[in-house]
Amino acid sequence: QVHLVESGGGSAQAGGSLKVSCRASGYIFSSCGMEWYRQPPGKEREFVSSISTNESTTYADSVKGRFTISQDHGRNTVNLQMNNLKTEDSAVYYCATDVGCLYFDGDDYRRAISKYWGQGTQVTVSS
């Protein structure tokens, strides 16, 4: 069974730094990309960053140059380092897999047809 568990986050002052991490299990970590999303209070969930299987990265314009996504294959973990935080970065941060992760269902390996999501972790930035 696929599990994504976020950790880190918490509170910081504007201009400060935080790191959120996501530990994955239940599928072949290297078989699909990973993504970070966030949902500010009262707003829709929005894309933050992604990292593909070949390590290419993408970022939302709002975080470009401040956030860095990385992954640790030894720990099946994807990290999001957030620097120069702004109050508008306050949100619940969610990690997600890309579509197509390879998992074993007890009989054979299958490709997932949907994303998997973590439970989210709160990031609060104060001025």
Percent of the chain with pLDDT over 70: 100
Q: Distances in Å between the alpha carbon of 115 and those of 1, 4, 35, 66, 96?
A: 13, 11, 10, 26, 6
The answer to whether 25 and 2 are in contact (CB under 8 A) is yes
DSSP string, 5-22: EEEE-EEEETT--EEEEE
Contact 22, 119 (CB under 8 A): no
Write the CA distances from 28 to 3, 92, 97, 113, integer angstroms: 12, 26, 11, 15
Asked if residue 68 lies in contact with residue 85, where contact means CB atoms within 8 angstroms, the answer is no
Side-chain half-sphere CA neighbours of 107 within 13 A: 0
Of 1, 18, 5, nearest in space to 96 by CA? 5
Each of the 127 residues of the chain gets a pLDDT tens digit; together they read: 899 999 998 999 999 999 999 999 999 999 999 999 999 999 999 999 999 999 999 999 999 999 999 999 999 999 999 999 999 999 999 999 999 999 999 899 999 999 999 999 999 999 9
